[in-house]
Chain A
Amino acid sequence: KQEVTQIPAALSVPEGENLVLNCSFTDSAIYNLQWFRQDPGKGLTSLLLIQSSQREQTSGRLNASLDKSSGRSTLYIAASQPGDSATYLCAVRRGNNNDMRFGAGTRLTVKP
């Protein structure tokens, strides 16, 4: 069974810092990995999707990497801003079906 873990559960940083969020998964046979952002009381917004054949994806200040062999992904946020404060979730997709497993998320607070 695929297990997805995100550590730490919560992170607080001062504005302007570069930071890394971690996601690990137990089964390396994945099709893709996706990072989402969730604001309090809201749904999820997709940030980046990395296909299993890719090593990284970039969007603005965000960069996500994928290392299937070690079962790890990182989300790098450059020059963090208070508006980046949210919970960040990763999810892995195992097959060409709807089996997508989520981590519990990392709650990020960026202090002005």
Chain B
Amino acid sequence: IAGITQAPTSQILAAGRRMTLRCTQDMRHNAMYWYRQDLGLGLRLIHYSNTAGTTGKGEVPDGYSVSRANTDDFPLTLASAVPSQTSVYFCASSVSGRFSDTQYFGPGTRLTVL
């Protein structure tokens, strides 16, 4: 693996179902992020983690939860999916959470909630 991987690539999900999007990085970056990208709105930060064991809320955290048990993995869970969560989800990482860091992005997961 080189960089950030996300799984699944795409998913169609019935409303009310639980779903976990997976994100793994092999760069030993301390900080990781989840964004959603919607047409005309750009990317919006859902949750972030500055280091293993800590997480924080971004701009649009409602309906999502995250955990950071180790450095490499940062799963995003939708406890009960709703159609408004249809979006493309990107995971990203950076060396640290400092403002000067460049963020590196995964290829994305396209999620459709019916």
Once A and B bind, how many residue pairs between them come within 8 Å at the CB atom?
62
Which one of B41, B43, B45, B107 has the highest number of Cβ atoms from chain A below 10 Å of its Cβ?
B43
Q: How many A residues face the partner with a CB closer than 8 A?
A: 27
A43 within 8 A of B: yes
A71 interface residue per 8 A CB criterion: no
Within 8 Å by CB of B99, from A44, A96, A105, lies: A96
Write out the residue numbers on chain B whose beta carbons fall within 8 Å of the beta carbon of A49. 100, 102
Give the B interface residue count (CB, 8 A).
27
Note all chain B residues with C-beta closer than 8 A to A4: 42
B104 CB within 8 Å of chain A = yes
CB within 8 A of A98: which of B56, B90, B104? B56
**Is A65 an interface position by the 8 A CB rule?**
no
Asked if B74 is at the interface of the complex by the 8 Å CB criterion, the answer is no
